[in-house]
Chain A
Amino acid sequence: MLHVNNLTAAIGGKQILNGLNLDVGAGEVHAIMGPNGSGKSTFAHALAGRDGYDITGEVTLDGADLLDMEPEARAAAGVFMGFQYPVEIPGVNNMYFLRTALNSVRRARGETEVGARDFLNVSKKAMDLVEMKEDFLYRSVNAGFSGGEKKRNEILQMAIMEPRLAVLDETDSGLDIDALRIVAGGVNALRSPERSMVVITHYQRLLDYIKPDFVHVLVDGRIVKSGDHTLALHLEANGYADFENDLGDASEQSFAGAQS
């Protein structure tokens, strides 16, 4: 479903992704782990279409070329990104924001828009999933939300947008154990054969709750190791040092190649 081939990304002349390859099948959950600065968030933003990166390579979703699309077109194609740092929009009520978002993608897909009343029903169901109270809908988007509330709001949005591909960027960061349980519960409930997920995380902890089908280790802008969920446990015990050494060899080779 998602096909990433030889993806590179640079910002301000600094190379961050160095030929990343990944295939995610329908209904699969892939975890991407890696040390700080390895390019995890850049990968998420490259999928979502953030401005400012120089990108090469190939990314398709259901055969459609994502790299050619604006962020809003990718959203309409079914890409949803759960932000590591959800953005505050003061004065814009959460429900209005969510409904505008949902109707924007529906409009782009040529579907009918959802009216205010129907939307309230849709959002109530989604709110139960992340254990939110109704007043949440009437507050400004993320403004004055606690860290946990912001992350739950991301999952709420995902539930409402019903994406084809969800990219969750460090959704576990800044969460206490209760919030983590709620967020992970929401994510698990949204797993479906129709939906693929890329879960980016720093710690194995999240994967105790969301059991991935595959785990990939990202170091220095490329995937250096892939495996099943036991790989995450290995990382938890040994850290990323082994893989960083591997990469040291690799860059040594390319250095030698450049010399000749």
Chain B
Amino acid sequence: MTAPMSESTRTIEELTSADYEYGFSTDLETDIAPPGLDESVVRLISSKKDEPEWLLEWRLKAYAAWREMEEPDWAKLEIAPIDYESISYWAAPKQKPVLDSMDDVDPDIREMFDKLGIPLHEQKMLSNVAVDAIVDSVSVTTTFKATLLEAGVIFCSFSEAVKDYPDLVREHLGSVVPVRDNFFAALNSAVFSDGSFCYIPKGVRCPMELSTYFRINSMNTGQFERTLIVAEDDSHVSYLEGCTAPQRDENQLHAAVVELVAKDRAEIKYSTVQNWYPGDENGVGGIYNFVTKRGRAHTDAKISWTQVETGSAITWKYPSVILQGDRSIGEFYSVALSCRRQQADTGTKMIHIGKDTTSTIISKGISAAHGQNTYRGLVKILRSAENARNYTQCDSLLLGKECGAHTIPYIEVKNPTAQVEHEASTSTVGEDQLYYCRQRGMTEEDAMSMIVNGFCREVFNELPMEFAVEAQRLLSISLEGSVG
């Protein structure tokens, strides 16, 4: 016997209409470029950052490519047209030009990060996580830099890397995501303002978790960061990324690029908790999140992407692995939540080139309220990839009657020795599950949170401890509402 439909729909709507916790904005004095994009803006950004000639050339090449390209429209996303001329492509919080220590960080910025629960004082921090704090695409500080350097690990803002380690940057920039890769990657390549750079030398196991915390603060600005991680032979690094933005009525564009290079026997674990402002329940405001993330795994190397995507009005994101070297391993673990009127089209690409390469894809999509969630994934086994294996599991959970879940797997196999498995399921949080938990004394909210977290268990297990706790909490908050 089930409850009447109206009852269950009401409950789930209440449970999925929580407030966005990070919606405040901070008054920071900001250096901002006038809206619009042409070659002069690209030159302005490059000169603001005092960049070498080769990088300006690289940007201009990307800009020229972008001009010729069109926005991709194959995703299952309904997007109001983006006016690229109304966006400002450069915004940076004004502060002291050189940062020698944490004490030099603008107190307003420090306060903002304190409010977000990310203290930038090293002594107050989680002892084993180094943070690069990025506001409006500009790195404002990086903690534990000195400690890391002792181990030979470079962890700094992208701009610093261009100045201090130009050869490393030049060698790897665009080596995994070329400037012409796609519309948004080309745009990013032309106008990226900052981001994180990380280099792990041969044989080094990075002594702490590295983390970048992205915060959008300014209005009417696009956000274009770039992250580049290079792990030399036999090295190991775990990298975390978190994102929030103020609550605003207009949509803001975020187009980032992340490139990972894992050389022979190296391992990179990249975890994201994305909580950009999702817009309100009527679909007003929210971040448009168009992100290109890709890694190249050389011989016996391993790249593992874990993402928890709870924010953004639009998410367009396919963290991928090019399994180039023999026996290389690619993994993708994803939880994507679409509440309110959020739309997510996300998944991965696993490109098997080397022999005996292995990839694993575990995707958990949760749709609530009017959310639309699409898994889109490509498993491509090239002719050269003898004995490649892939296992894909896509599970969708529906909360309510107005939301949607879609699974679009592409499988291309050119080598007959390949073994490719695909499993998919769609389920709902039943009233019977909620009732069962409530009969055992739990409140409706606790029950919902427990059930949804259980659904995501396999992915949360892949997150570093602190992040797993944060991810569970975030999911609970995103789902919690005003149950009377």
- Return chain A residues, CB-CB under 8 Å to B457: 90-92
Q: Please tell me if the beta carbons of B438 and A52 are within 8 angstroms of each other in the complex.
A: no
Interface centre among A42, A49, A89 (most CB of B within 10 A): A89
Q: How far is the CA of A100 from the CA of B458 in the complex (A)?
A: 20
Q: Chain A interface: which of B190-198, B266-274, B276-284, B447-455?
A: B447-455
Interface flags, A58-86, vs B, CB<8A=1, else 0: 00000000000011101110011101001
Which residue of B has the minimal Cβ distance to A109?
A: B441
Which residue of B has the minimal Cβ distance to A51?
A: B3
Which residue of A has the minimal Cβ distance to B459?
A: A91
CB contact list, B436-477 vs A, under 8 A: 436-444, 446, 450-451, 453-458
Q: Please tell me if the beta carbons of B1 and A45 are within 8 angstroms of each other in the complex.
A: yes
| Cβ-based interface call for B7 (8 A) | yes
| Cβ-based interface call for B119 (8 A) | no
> Quick one: which of A42, A76, A91, A104 contacts B1, CB cutoff 8 A?
A42
- Return chain B residues, CB-CB under 8 Å to A81: 439
Interface centre among A41, A51, A100 (most CB of B within 10 A): A51
Interface flags, A151-187, vs B, CB<8A=1, else 0: 0000001000100000000000000000000000000
| Cβ-based interface call for A11 (8 A) | yes
Known: A52-B2, A100-B450. A91 touches B442 (CB 8 A): no
Interface flags, A39-55, vs B, CB<8A=1, else 0: 00110010011111000
Q: Please tell me if the beta carbons of B1 and A101 are within 8 angstroms of each other in the complex.
A: no
Known: A51-B431, A71-B439, A157-B440. A89 touches B3 (CB 8 A): no
- Return chain B residues, CB-CB under 8 Å to A104: 440-443, 446
Q: How far is the CA of A87 from the CA of B435 in the complex (A)?
A: 9
CB contact list, B1-17 vs A, under 8 A: 1-4, 7-8, 11
Q: Please tell me if the beta carbons of B441 and A92 are within 8 angstroms of each other in the complex.
A: no
Known: A50-B435, A52-B1, A104-B446. A75 touches B441 (CB 8 A): yes
Q: Please tell me if the beta carbons of B1 and A11 are within 8 angstroms of each other in the complex.
A: yes
Minimal beta-carbon separation of A227 from chain B (angstroms): 29
Q: Please tell me if the beta carbons of A86 and B436 are within 8 angstroms of each other in the complex.
A: yes
Known: A70-B438, A87-B433, A92-B454. A100 touches B4 (CB 8 A): no
| Cβ-based interface call for A140 (8 A) | yes
| Cβ-based interface call for B412 (8 A) | no
Q: Please tell me if the beta carbons of A90 and B454 are within 8 angstroms of each other in the complex.
A: yes
Q: Please tell me if the beta carbons of B431 and A72 are within 8 angstroms of each other in the complex.
A: no
| Cβ-based interface call for A122 (8 A) | no
Minimal beta-carbon separation of B28 from chain A (angstroms): 41
Which residue of A has the minimal Cβ distance to B442?
A: A104
Q: Please tell me if the beta carbons of A89 and B440 are within 8 angstroms of each other in the complex.
A: no
Interface flags, B220-239, vs A, CB<8A=1, else 0: 00000000000000000000
Which residue of A has the minimal Cβ distance to B427?
A: A90
Minimal beta-carbon separation of B140 from chain A (angstroms): 38
Which residue of B has the minimal Cβ distance to A101?
A: B440
Q: How far is the CA of A119 from the CA of B443 in the complex (A)?
A: 21
- Return chain A residues, CB-CB under 8 Å to B455: 90-91
Q: Please tell me if the beta carbons of A12 and B453 are within 8 angstroms of each other in the complex.
A: no
Which residue of A has the minimal Cβ distance to B2?
A: A52
Q: Please tell me if the beta carbons of A100 and B442 are within 8 angstroms of each other in the complex.
A: yes
Which residue of B has the minimal Cβ distance to A79?
A: B439
Known: A87-B432, A90-B454, A91-B453. A75 touches B3 (CB 8 A): no
> Quick one: which of A75, A91, A97, A141 contacts B438, CB cutoff 8 A?
A75
Q: How far is the CA of A104 from the CA of B457 in the complex (A)?
A: 22
| Cβ-based interface call for A116 (8 A) | no
Interface centre among A75, A91, A104, A161 (most CB of B within 10 A): A91
- Return chain A residues, CB-CB under 8 Å to B440: 75, 97, 101, 104-105, 157, 161
Which residue of B has the minimal Cβ distance to A87?
A: B436
Q: How far is the CA of A235 from the CA of B112 in the complex (A)?
A: 73
- Return chain B residues, CB-CB under 8 Å to A97: 437, 440, 450
Q: Please tell me if the beta carbons of B435 and A51 are within 8 angstroms of each other in the complex.
A: yes
- Return chain A residues, CB-CB under 8 Å to B456: 91
| Cβ-based interface call for B242 (8 A) | no
Minimal beta-carbon separation of B399 from chain A (angstroms): 15
Interface centre among A52, A86, A97 (most CB of B within 10 A): A52
Known: A51-B7, A52-B1, A75-B439. A91 touches B454 (CB 8 A): yes
Q: Please tell me if the beta carbons of B432 and A91 are within 8 angstroms of each other in the complex.
A: no
| Cβ-based interface call for A250 (8 A) | no
Minimal beta-carbon separation of A94 from chain B (angstroms): 11
Known: A51-B435, A52-B3, A87-B430. A92 touches B442 (CB 8 A): no
- Return chain B residues, CB-CB under 8 Å to A141: 454
Q: How far is the CA of A161 from the CA of B439 in the complex (A)?
A: 11
CB contact list, B183-214 vs A, under 8 A: none
> Quick one: which of B2, B8, B442 contacts A101, CB cutoff 8 A?
B442
| Cβ-based interface call for A189 (8 A) | no
Minimal beta-carbon separation of B433 from chain A (angstroms): 5
Q: How far is the CA of A11 from the CA of B435 in the complex (A)?
A: 16
Q: How far is the CA of A121 from the CA of B453 in the complex (A)?
A: 26
Interface flags, A186-202, vs B, CB<8A=1, else 0: 00000000000000000
- Return chain B residues, CB-CB under 8 Å to A50: 1, 3, 435
Interface flags, A92-120, vs B, CB<8A=1, else 0: 10000100111011001000000000000
Which residue of A has the minimal Cβ distance to B450?
A: A92
Q: Please tell me if the beta carbons of A52 and B4 are within 8 angstroms of each other in the complex.
A: yes
Which residue of A has the minimal Cβ distance to B435?
A: A50
Minimal beta-carbon separation of B462 from chain A (angstroms): 13
Which residue of A has the minimal Cβ distance to B5?
A: A52
Q: How far is the CA of A65 from the CA of B458 in the complex (A)?
A: 42
Q: How far is the CA of A83 from the CA of B439 in the complex (A)?
A: 10
- Return chain B residues, CB-CB under 8 Å to A11: 1
Minimal beta-carbon separation of A69 from chain B (angstroms): 11
Interface flags, B245-281, vs A, CB<8A=1, else 0: 0000000000000000000000000000000000000
Closest 7 CB pairs of A and B: A91-B454, A52-B3, A91-B457, A92-B454, A101-B440, A75-B441, A105-B441
29 inter-chain pairs at a CB distance below 8 angstroms, sorted by A residue, are A12-B4, A41-B1, A49-B438, A51-B431, A51-B435, A52-B2, A70-B438, A71-B435, A72-B438, A75-B438, A75-B439, A87-B430, A87-B432, A87-B436, A89-B436, A89-B437, A91-B455, A91-B456, A91-B458, A92-B450, A97-B437, A100-B446, A101-B437, A104-B441, A104-B446, A105-B441, A140-B454, A141-B454, A157-B440
B residues within 8 Å of A by Cβ?
1-4, 7-8, 11, 430-433, 435-444, 446, 450-451, 453-458
> Given known contacts A92-B454, A101-B441, what 9 new A-B pairs fall within 8 Å (CB)?
A45-B1, A50-B3, A52-B431, A91-B454, A91-B455, A92-B450, A92-B451, A92-B453, A92-B457
